[in-house]
Structure 1
Amino acid sequence: MDLVFRARRVVTPDGEGPCEVGVEDGRIVAVGAGAGLTGDRVVELGDDVVLLPGLVDTHVHVNDPGRTEWEGFETATRAAAAGGVTTIVDMPLNSLPPTVDVASLAVKRKTAQGRVHVDVGFWGGAVPGNRGDLRALHEAGVFGFKCFLADSGVEEFPPLAEAELEADLAELAGFGATMIVHAEDSAAIEHAPEPHGTRYADFLRSRPREAENLAIARVIELARRTGARVHILHLSSSDALPMIARARADGLALTVETCPHYLTFAAEEIADGATQFKCCPPIREAANRDLLWQGLRAGLIDCVVSDHSPCTPELKRFDTGDFGVAWGGISGLQLGLPAVWTQARQRGCSLAEVVHWMAERPASLVGLAAKGRIAPGHDADFCVFAPDEEFVVDAGNLWHRNPVSAYHGRQLAGVVRSTWLRGEEITGRHPAGRLLRRQP
């Protein structure tokens, strides 16, 4: 074989245990304990590390082209690799142009070509007026369509009104595409106190749980009417879990994600002026965080993805610490695995569960059948992870373009020792990632 891994700890779909993994032509061809595999290259892993499948992050804002000073394909995919992520799916907004038609998708692909260190797929966007472009984007290979129900923060990607959302869902149901929804209700936000000043508690009141709860209820009802597949992005309100459970019990094609920052941080701990923690929907209270963990372990939340939404330091307004004017977004692509593992192990979760949430399930949700598992026939994408090694985050040492991180100064457990894409270790010297298309 081209490559053989031997390790006492390997996470496969059957759990964690000693294993040999054989690779030929970038694909896994053999997995088993004591198989006696031989290869041109044999990697013997120590007892302090675990071989994981490469993670799949389906919620990344690369912001390229147009806002490359915020991130960019080269830095984003290098950061992904440093965090054990071998596949990302790029969001359709914050780039210029946004990915709302086939021409803008072509611009995005051309910008990314030859510059990516991991595999990259693309979401399309659903905005007012582009319903006629959705099927063509689907046929061009996007993995689904993102919409907002409230202000997106950028004027070139406006939200859908309820009637537009229903019509778009009916359109997508006709060809089996998924709508992924930023679910916050614009009216509830308009009636909440305006965000201003340095107190995080004031910002939290400006994005109440009711805004999420109302929007999710509306999405569920419209999914029921249209039969469309829907996915709730970055769930932060645990109040919504019972209605999600009822919708699932009724047979709706509804999936849900949350993010490492909602599972890690708590509103009570955020200091005045610490705008690096601002995101929408917001980080909520510790009790809410614990309920999200319960929902995740119960299967009501399907997966954990980064919602990596970086910006320049200036846009975070550290000069004033004003939550009302700072850009909302957490820059966390490189740190998702250790952040989740740090919390997971404290709650008695296994690495196999973390892999399910951060590799296997997101790959399945977007139809990447060859990703997310150490199993024959899958891409030889791996993360060599030292789960017991701890480190303190220094934002200046991350591969993200800008040294802004809510995790700066935080001690995390778990270090990514190396990341492999189709049987080759990612070194950062030669971008070898591929641009992915949705498979029929």
Structure 2
Amino acid sequence: MKALRLTLESFRFAWQALKANLLRTILSLLGVTVGIFAIIAVFTVVDSLEANVRQSMSFVGDKVIYVMKMPWTFDQPDYPWWKYFGRPVPTVREYNDLRKSLSDNNRGVAVFASAGGNTLRAGNNSMESIALQGVSYDFRKVSDLPIAEGRYFTQREVESARNVAIIGADIASNLFPNSTAIGREFKAKGQRFTVVGVVQKEGKKLLDTPSNDNNVVIPFETFTKIFTLSTGNGFGITPTIAVKGKEEDEGLLDLESEMRGLMRNIRSLRPREEDNFALNRPEMLGNMVGKLFSIIGIAGAVIGSFAMLVGGFGIANIMFVSVKERTNIIGIQKSLGAKNYFVLFQFLFEAVFLCLLGGAAGIFLVWLITLIPQETLPLLLSWSNISLGLTVSVVIGVLAGIIPAVLAANLDPVIAIRAK
């Protein structure tokens, strides 16, 4: 009860001080407002950038291991490409051997390949430079392919190499502008395809990464009838083998170990021979992105902290003036039995309250910026950043108000009452 009364009284004093010297208080709070705005704006932009970049890379999937020729490396300044150039590329035969030999320590094994620069025609409408992607039936288990309309391939359609297709949202709107695309036909590479599904629209991405909006997905066996695949010598289109791991396999260590052993056996490598294949995981790219944006966030926070420092000095100035103006009141309170801690917390709460006002104003300004429509980089103010802003405001309030509060608590009541 005493703590509640102390808090309410402190808020009342802070509000009275704010109203009595409105311009002075606003100018002093402006430093906290600008500081919180700078810090939270930086973190909001960094979080939004990271989320957008990760979304742009969603095509690589999550908890997936890719069997490829070249390894993914992001921390090597001199990439030894010549070391991997002569390696054989993955083949369909290796995919079949791997799929049959893997244990149940996975959620799906898929093979896929892509060929760009294709022209699609449907009636009088056409689109150029479109990618055709051939996928096996389990592709939807290893990669994100949200169907907005229609359905995914059936296993019979994949195995019998039917001319069916799942098209992107932009392709559907351009080839079939006035009707649904499901059940309609288009022509590509001299073949007629029937649309069975339309992928959910992704929209613009910050990075120029492959998008499902302008992509056509067809059964892998159908793809092999149209395009020539590489058989290991590098000539033709190179397929990619992907294996989806299970959630309980932390770090996919068990799956990666099993795949390495099977691939070495499939390629008849001797025990002392190096791997002539690469097992790549999207986590490598995700970790690199996380480190990059962590550095950017820290740099932005350091810059914003200078504005917070100025704001803290402004609040400290208000509190010193407030102690000076209310010296008589402090003396009366202490003469009536008020303890030192009562006076201490009274001014400390006042400093925190003023900083919270400035911090809330800064967060409000950041929220207003997030309301501006942004198609490429939509900004989102997260609850964690709001909590961070309020926490920083409280800390600055404590640091700025502790010295004035201690001075007020240690005032002699007799001398304080006589002060003018």
TM-score surpassing 0.5?
A: no
Higher helix share: 2
Higher relative CO (Cα under 8 Å, sequence separation at least 6) belongs to 2
TM-score normalized by the length of structure 2: 0.21
Q: So what's the TM-score if we normalise by structure 1?
A: 0.20
Per residue, is there more strand in 1 or in 2?
Answer: 1
Q: Which has the larger radius of gyration?
A: 2
